[in-house]
A and B are shown apart, each in its own frame.
Chain A
Amino acid sequence: MNDTSTAKTGLQSEAGAAMKQNRTAEGTVGEVYVDDPRMTCRNVDVYYGEKQAIFDVSLDVGKNQVISMIGPSGCGKSTFLRCLNRMNDTIDICRVTGQIKMDGQDIYDGGLDVVPLRASVGMVFQKPNPFPKSIYDNIAYGPRIHGLCDDKQHLDSIVEKSLQRAGLWEEVKDRLDQPGTGLSGGQQQRLCIARAIAVSPEVILMDEPCSALDPIATAKIEELIDELRENFTIAIVTHSMQQAARVSQRTAYFHLGKLIEVGETDQIFTSPRHKLTEDYITGRFG
C-alpha cells in the first residue's frame, strides 16, 4: 500500500462523478460515494454456502468519519462489516465476490496477506472479548505480534497511550497486571477498543459494541467513538437508532441483505427517501 496516492485521486474523481446521481445503478437510494473514501466497496455479494446473504452492495467509507449501519436483525449488516477486514475468511462456507478496496488496494486480491490488513482494519466485537491475560498483555498483544515495538519502554508507552485514548487509563493504571476478564463489562469493551487501537489501525470496525452494556457504559463508549473519529475511520453496526444518530455522520440502512439507503445521518433520520427506511426509523417494524 505504498503507491496509493495515485489510485486514490483516480477514485476520487470517479466518486465525484457518481455523486451527482441520486439513485445508483445498484438500486440504493442516496449518496453511496463520498469525496474522500478510505474504503470503497463495489458490487459486493456474500454467500453462506448456497444462501446469499448480501446482494450487490456498493458503499464508500469516508476518511475520519463514523458510518453507522442499521437495519433489522438478519439484514446482513454484520456480515457486510466483517467483509471489510476479511473476518469472514474464518467461516469455511462463506464466499465473497465483488470488489473491496482500501486506499486503492483490493483487499480480496489473492496476493494480499490478511495479517497487515487486519492490523490496519481493527475490529471490536459485540461481546467484550478480552483475552484471559493481564490488562497489560491484552493491549500489548497486537504490537507484539506485529513487531511494532522496539523495547519494553516503547511497549509501555504504546500500552499507556492506547489505554488513555480508550479512556481507561485512569481506571486501570494501578492494576495493569490483573486479568482483563476481571473488569466490568463496559471497562472490558473499552479494553477491547484500546487493544484494537494499540496497533494503530486506519479503520476500526465495531459490531454492536454496546449491545452488552448498560446505559452509562454505553454513553462512555459513544463519547469515545466521537473522539476517535479524529484519528480513525469508524464503521459501526448498531441496533440502536438513537446511537446511530448520536455518533455517526453517515448512516446506511440495510434490509434483507440489500443496501436500501445511504446518506447523511441527519437526512436519513429526518427525511428518509425510501419507504422501507422510513418505516424502520419510525418504528413500524424491526
Chain B
Amino acid sequence: MHTSTLIILLLGLMSLAYYFGRKRSLSIVGGKIRDLHSLPSYYGLQTAMWCGIPALILLSLWISFEETVVTGIVVESLPQELQSLPPERLDLVLNDVRNLSKGDIVSSTVDQTMQQAADHYSSLMDISHMALFVVALSVAILAGLWARRTITREQRARNRVEKAINFFLLSSSTLAIFTTIGIVLSVLFESMRFFQQIPVTEFLFGLEWSPQTAIRPDQVGSSGVFGSVPLFAGTMLITLIAMIVAVPIGLMSAIYMAEYAGKRFRTLAKPVLEVLAGIPTVVYGFFAALTVAPFFRDMGTNIGLTVSSESALAAGVVMGIMIIPFVSSLSDDVINAVPQAMRDGAYGLGATRSETIRNVIIPAALPGIVGGVLLAVSRAIGETMIVVMAAGLSANLSANPLEAVTTVTVQIVTLLVGDQEFDSAKTLAAFALALVLFVITLALNMIALHIVRKYREQYE
C-alpha cells in the first residue's frame, strides 16, 4: 500500500471529522449558535485537526525511522561473516540487498544469502507499511472520535484553533530560516575542509588561480594553485562595467518616469521596462556571447584595438542592461516616496522642474537610491549565467576591460561540473569561493537594507 494513498485517506477522514465536529457542536445547543462559545466551524476545525495531525506526525516519524529499523533487523539476520565486515563494505552489501528487493541492478553476483536477505527485507517493508496503514488510520479515527466527544458548549475551540494556526505559521517561517542556516553551515563546513588543505591566506591573497589538481599521483604537473584574487578582481571589473552602464541609464529613466513622463507614456513604458527584468539571464548570456562580444571585437579591430572575443566589456555591458530595470524601478519607488510637500516647497519658491529635481528631490532620495544601487551591485556580483557564457575561463589578473577575465561564479560552475572526486581541493574550492561571495553579498545587502530603512523613517 502506498504512502500517498494513506495521506489522501487521512485528508478524507479530516474532512469527515470537520463535518461531524461541526454537526455535533450544533446539536449540543440545538442549533442556537449564540449559545456556543465559538462558531460551529471552529469546533469542526478542531475535530479535524485532532483527527489529522497526530496521525500525520506518526506517519512522518514512521517513514523516517522505518528504513533504519528494518535494515537493522535484516543485518541481524545476515550470516556472521557478512555482519563482521567493515562498515563501508556492509553498506555496499545492504545497498545491493535493497536494490535486489526493488528489482534494480545489483553490483555483485547474486548468491543465496543475498537473495534471502532481499526477500526478508521486502517482506519486512511490506509488514511495516501495512502496520503503518492500520496504526495511522486508527489513531486518526480514535483521536477524531475523542475530540468529537469532548465538545461542550463552553469549550474554547476558537482559541485552540487560533493557537494551532499560529503554530503552523511559526513553523513555516522557522523552516525557511533553518534552511538558510543549513545552507550556510554546509558551505561553511566544506570550506573548512578546503582550508585544511590550502591555507586561508593563500586563498585570500594569492594572485594565481589554477585549480587543476592531479587525479593520479603519477600525473604530470598541476598541484593546483588557489589564489582567489584574480577571480574577485574579474568579478569586480565586470560589476563595475555593469554599474557604469546601469546606474546612469536606470537613474535617469527613473527620473523621467517619476517626474516628467505623462500618464500615457508611463503606462506604456513601465511594463516594457519590466519585461527587460523578466528576460531569463540565459537569454542575456547568449545575447552577450553571440551578438555583443563579436560586435565589440569587430569594432575594436576596426579602430586598431585587440579585443578578446570573450571580453569583460561585453559581459559587463550586457549585465548592466539586465540590471537597468532593477535600478530604475527601485529609484522610481524612492523618488515617488519623496513627499509632494518637498516639491511644492521648491516650486513655490520659483524653482524649475530640473532645479527641483537636482537640488531637492535627488538629495532627498539619495540614501534610497544608494541602497538600491548596492542591491543591484550584489545582484551583479552573484550573477552567473551571463558571465559563464560571455566572460571566459582564463583567470587573468587585469584591469583592461577588453581582455577576457573570469568571475567567482564562473569558476564555481566549472569546478563542480563534470565527474569529480568530492574530497579534492579542487571541488572544495567551490565552497570556499561561495563562502566569500556569500559574505560579500550579505554585507552589501545588509548595508543597503539599513540605508533604505533609515531613509524610509525620515519621512514618516
Contacts and interface: CB of A to CB of B under 8 A. Distances in A.
Interface of A: 85, 87, 90, 92, 114-119, 122-123, 125, 127, 129-133, 141-142, 145-146, 181, 192, 195-196, 199
B339 interface: yes
Given A127-B341, A129-B345, A192-B345, A118 B350 contact: yes
B350 A87 contact: no
B350 A125 contact: no
A87 B347 contact: yes
A87 B263 CA distance: 20
B5 interface: no
Nearest to B366: A132
B458 A125 contact: no
B337 to A, nearest CB: 13
B349 A118 contact: yes
A199 B347 CA distance: 13
Nearest to A93: B263
B348 A122 contact: yes
Contacts of A125: 341, 344-345, 348
Contacts of B345: 125, 129-131, 192, 195
A199 B342 CA distance: 18
B351 interface: yes
Contact of A142 (B341, B349, B352): B349
A131 B347 CA distance: 12
Given A90-B344, A115-B350, A129-B345, A145 B359 contact: yes
Q: 7 closest A-B pairs (Cβ-Cβ)?
A: A118-B350, A123-B348, A129-B341, A119-B350, A129-B345, A142-B349, A132-B364
B346 interface: yes
B297 interface: no
A187 to B, nearest CB: 16
Contact of A132 (B263, B344, B351, B458): B458
Contacts of A195: 345, 349
Interface string B344-387: 11111111100100011001100000000000000000000000
B346 A131 contact: yes
Contacts of A127: 341
Given A131-B364, A142-B350, A92 B344 contact: no
B343 interface: yes
Interface of B: 263, 339, 341-352, 355, 359-360, 363-364, 458
B342 A141 contact: no
A39 to B, nearest CB: 16
B349 A145 contact: yes
B350 A131 contact: no
A181 B458 contact: yes
A129 B349 contact: no
Contact of B347 (A90, A92, A192, A196): A90
Contacts of B344: 87, 90, 123, 125, 129
Contacts of B359: 131, 141, 145
Given A92-B263, A132-B458, A141 B349 contact: yes
Contacts of B343: 90
B104 to A, nearest CB: 69
Given A92-B263, A129-B342, A145-B355, A118 B360 contact: no
A122 B348 CA distance: 6
Contact of B363 (A119, A133, A199): A133
A116 B339 CA distance: 24
Contacts of B351: 115, 141, 145
B342 A196 contact: no
Contacts of A130: 345
Contacts of A199: 349-350
Contacts of B355: 145
Which of A118, A119, A181 is most buried by chain B, counting CB atoms within 10 A of its CB? A118
B362 to A, nearest CB: 11
A119 B346 CA distance: 11
A122 B349 contact: yes
B124 to A, nearest CB: 73
A142 B345 CA distance: 10
Contacts of B342: 129, 131-132
B366 to A, nearest CB: 9
Contacts of B263: 92
B402 to A, nearest CB: 42
21 contacts: A87-B348, A90-B344, A114-B350, A115-B351, A116-B350, A118-B347, A119-B349, A122-B349, A123-B348, A129-B341, A129-B345, A131-B359, A132-B360, A132-B363, A132-B458, A141-B346, A141-B351, A145-B355, A192-B345, A199-B349, A199-B350
Contacts of A87: 344, 347-348
Q: Identify which of A92, A115, A122 gathers the most chain B CB atoms within 10 Å of its CB.
A: A115
Nearest to A198: B349
Contacts of B360: 131-132
A92 B261 CA distance: 12
B335 to A, nearest CB: 14
B396 to A, nearest CB: 45
Contacts of B458: 132, 181
Greatest chain A CB density within 10 A among B350, B352, B360 is at: B350
Contacts of A146: 350
Contacts of B350: 114-119, 142, 145-146, 199
B151 to A, nearest CB: 54
A104 B147 CA distance: 87
Given A132-B364, A145-B349, 15 more contacts: A87-B344, A90-B343, A90-B344, A115-B352, A118-B350, A122-B349, A123-B344, A123-B348, A125-B348, A129-B339, A129-B342, A130-B345, A132-B360, A142-B350, A192-B345
